[in-house]
Amino acid sequence: MQLPNLTIREASDLLATKKISSVELTHATLQRAHEIDPKIKSYVTITDDLAIEQAKKADERIAKGENVTPLTGIPFAAKDCISTRNIRTTCSSKILEDYVPQYNATVINKLADAGAVLMGKTNMDEFGMGSSCENSAFFNTHNPWDLERVPGGSSGGSAAAMSASLCSFSLGEDTGGSVRMPAGFCNVTGIKPTYGRVSRYGLISLVSSFDCIGPMSRDVYDCATVLETIAGHDPQDSTTFNSPVPRYTQHVTKSVKGMTIGIPKEYFVSGMEAGVESSIQEAIRTYEKLGMKIQEVSLPNTKYALPVYYLLLFAEASSNLARFDGTRFGLSVSENAKDVIDIYLQTRHKGFGDEVKRRIMLGAYALSAGYYDAYYLKAQKVRTLLRRDFETALASCDILLAPTCPTTAFKLGEKTSDPLEMYLSDIYVVATNPAGVPALALPAGFSNNMPVGMQLIGKHLDEQTLFQVGHAYQQETDWHKQLPNI
Ligand code: GLN
């Protein structure tokens, strides 16, 4: 038995029946990470001692039968923009390279309360800006299915670590596809929850009105297990919903017969890799066999999704990142500084990478007097139209189905010289974030030996239906069980 390959559910059963201990599971996973991660480079920091200490505590809890949850003793990794007390949290940026938070994000506290074991922090595009993980200031992460290809971004480290069994689940963050796109590229399951379903407290902001923390796992059941643990109201984050969190796992097995899937016609246009299109068509046929109705729907404003998303991102990010100025967090370059302005300038010049600087400049421009109405305000209005598109389409069906990306994982370096080309790979994932709706990504086959990702998009707060429909698919297929040969 390969312990790191177990699903959460399998590992949890073995822990509960005392066939394995959390120390054994954690030790085996750490060992595998030390052996294999030098090739993949998914982790920025591995917290060996802390993990073993937490695993021992989990074993004590299980021995006493006190407060045992499905995540007690299960090792996980967190994207490096999620604050962890006394553990370096870098956003894969030079400006935060040595930053150690004094508090935990709410999700980290919730997982600690559940008895999960933190193994380390994962690589990402700097501050979440990117689609390939190549914008990390530290190093590139490699796709476990082909080391010459990208894992996707920006949560590429979390997806690659999950894919290569270097953790039992991971946390990503999705501002415009950063959970779903890498999940698709690396053959793992991941969810971007409804905006406000999971607390953002302690998440280092990229776009405060889009950001969502979401789990990545081997299958839908595991994803539901983690989401029901981390979701819920948080007094520290006024944008969280006050409604109760459903027990998603209790309902995943409900039949999907008679439900309706909408296929957005704007998502099936030329330019899609043939193997991606055929895998998605095959998935649609699988659902038909399960007794679901298939119906074409329209999201007419899709053509504006990418420009609206990026414009709003530039604007909000330029304002959010103003706090990194050399006087409060992380890097401070003050040698020979004439005055405080000089400290700001030198620190930001040295601390931020090219993509971050590009976005801050574009955002400051879009927000400046005389341009605000023409760009920012206009984009906010079109954002409302994007939201209405989803409301209208989802009024006539239960969920929407689409690919996560027009292609499979591309080669490292293939798109780095052309930022627009990189932005275009986000075409299918960005619209959900301005709209706030939830979306689940899951493995749907292979094209030229690389994984194909599919996403199911749902109504506000209806993660339940996404899990139910995703689980039904994973009962019929075994794409999600395929592991990279590494
Ligand atoms: N590719 C998106 C971007 O570059 C991903 C953002 C995200 O979800 N963190 O903005």
How much distance in Å is there from the Cα of 266 to the middle of ligand 1? 21
- β-strands 293-297, 260-264 pairing: parallel
Instruction: Give the residue with greater pLDDT, 473 vs 329.
Output: 473
pTM of the model: 0.98
H/E stretch holding 24 reads: helix 22-40
At residue 58, the pLDDT reads 98
Pocket of ligand 1 (CB under 6 A): 128-131, 153-154, 173-178, 206, 313, 426
At residue 270, the pLDDT reads 82
How much distance in Å is there from the Cα of 317 to the middle of ligand 1? 11
| Cα separation, 150 vs 142, whole angstroms | 5
Which atom from ligand 1 is nearest to the alpha carbon of 174?
A: 8
Q: Summarize the confidence of residues 32-61 as an average pLDDT.
A: 98
Which amino acid would we find at residue 205? Answer: S
Q: Tokens at residue 452, please?
A: 């194909």
Domains of the chain and any CATH numbers:
1-486 (3.90.1300.10)
Q: How many CB atoms lie within 10 A of CB 138?
A: 16
Query: Which residue has its alpha carbon closest to ligand 1 atom 4?
Result: 130
Active site residues: 79, 154, 178
Residue 470 pLDDT greater than 90, yes or no? yes
Yes or no: say if 218 and 480 are a contact pair by the CB < 8 Å rule.
Answer: yes
The pick from 123, 136, 178, 204 for probing ligand 1's pocket by mutation, whose C-beta has the most ligand atoms within 8 angstroms, reads 178
The pick from 82, 91, 131 for probing ligand 1's pocket by mutation, whose C-beta has the most ligand atoms within 8 angstroms, reads 131
At residue 336, the pLDDT reads 87
How much distance in Å is there from the Cα of 323 to the middle of ligand 1? 20
How much distance in Å is there from the Cα of 76 to the middle of ligand 1? 22
* Banded model confidence at residue 335, pLDDT cuts 50, 70, 90: confident
Share of the chain above pLDDT 70, in %: 100
Distances in Å between the alpha carbon of 83 and those of 49, 91, 94, 358? Answer: 18, 10, 16, 25
Q: Which long-range contacts (CB under 8 A, 24 or more apart) does 96-100 make?
A: 96/204, 96/324, 96/329, 96/330, 96/331, 97/137, 97/330, 97/331, 98/330, 98/331, 99/329, 99/330
For the stretch 216-259, pLDDT in tens is: 999 999 999 999 999 999 999 999 999 999 999 999 999 999 99
Q: Tokens at residue 5, please?
A: 């390959």
Residue 271 pLDDT greater than 90, yes or no? no
For the stretch 5-46, pLDDT in tens is: 999 999 999 999 999 999 999 999 999 999 999 999 999 999
| Cα separation, 148 vs 118, whole angstroms | 29
Q: How confident is the prediction for the chain on average, in pLDDT?
A: 97
Share of the chain above pLDDT 90, in %: 97
Residue 269 pLDDT greater than 90, yes or no? no
For the stretch 408-424, pLDDT in tens is: 999 999 999 999 999 99
For the stretch 85-138, pLDDT in tens is: 999 999 999 999 999 999 999 999 999 999 999 999 999 999 999 999 999 999
Based on its alpha-carbon atoms, the radius of gyration of the chain, rounded to whole angstroms, reads 21
| Cα separation, 253 vs 269, whole angstroms | 33
For the stretch 371-396, pLDDT in tens is: 999 999 999 999 999 999 999 999 99
